[in-house]
Amino acid sequence: MRLMLGLLVAGTLALPATAQAAPLLTVELARESLRYGAAHQVRGTLLDGTMPLSNQEVILEGRRYPYEGSYRVIERATTDADGAFELDAELDRNHRLRVIAPAQELTSKRLQAYTLPGFELSFRALSPGVVRLYQRYTVPKPVRLSAPTLFYLGKRGSARASLRRTGQLKRVKAGRYTSQVTIRLPSSWDGAFRYASCFRASTGSGMGDPNQSCPKLRLQF
């Protein structure tokens, strides 16, 4: 009996100590790029191992383009019963974002949020077979746009564009820009068409993804 007890004690002492899980803060952007005036949404969870940490403060901080200086507080929230949270931020330029969980002394990974100029695309028929396409932009008053607008057209029902025209940008007033092109449609289209637009980020504007490109022609509608 004594021998058996000795073996049991030895076996118990040989078991490793259970490691304590560290708190974990995970975050993601619902959408990386949004138009000016729309709110970026950051979603995340705060866990202690597999256990949700509820009723904990989380803070959204951001550093605005050109990403100099300190992060500033944008929004605060409290985690729910599942440790989940959502933070909304209406941004006027591109931002680098992060979330802080003060009580746990945690800082999330960095998120890149792009704010595009607000824009509205429209057209007007000038005469049979001739249309004018317009794109109007809204940005913060100090922002200067320079990139032209690329307009794409295709016959109604087509999957891809077969025409592309470039419209130069015109500043109407502070914070307002417009671009337009006049196009004679191919006679085979019988006046029925589809249209779309694309524009690149203007250098130095701090609005939009600088790596974004536009199709040379065959834009997919």
Render pLDDT for 121-131 as a digit per residue (tens, 0 to 9).
999 999 999 99
- How many structural domains is the chain composed of? 2
- Please tell me whether residues 138 and 83 are part of one structural domain: no
Render pLDDT for 163-178 as a digit per residue (tens, 0 to 9).
999 999 999 999 999 9
Query: Per-residue pLDDT averaged across 101-118, rounded?
Result: 98
In the predicted structure, residue 38 carries a pLDDT above the cut 60? yes
CB 79 within 8 A of CB 46: yes
- Please tell me whether residues 137 and 110 are part of one structural domain: no
Rounded-to-integer distance, Cα 176 and Cα 104, Å: 45
Task: Give the pLDDT confidence score for residue 22 in this predicted structure.
Answer: 87
In the predicted structure, residue 3 carries a pLDDT above the cut 50? no
Rounded-to-integer distance, Cα 85 and Cα 79, Å: 5
Residue 27 lies in a domain: yes
Q: What is the CATH number of the domain that holds 143?
A: 2.60.40
- Please tell me whether residues 47 and 82 are part of one structural domain: yes
- Please tell me whether residues 111 and 180 are part of one structural domain: no
Residue 169 lies in a domain: yes
Give the residue numbers spanning the domain of 69.
Answer: 20-116
Query: Per-residue pLDDT averaged across 207-213, rounded?
Result: 96
The pLDDT mean for the chain works out to 92
- Please tell me whether residues 99 and 146 are part of one structural domain: no
Residue 11 lies in a domain: no
Q: What is the pTM of this model?
A: 0.86
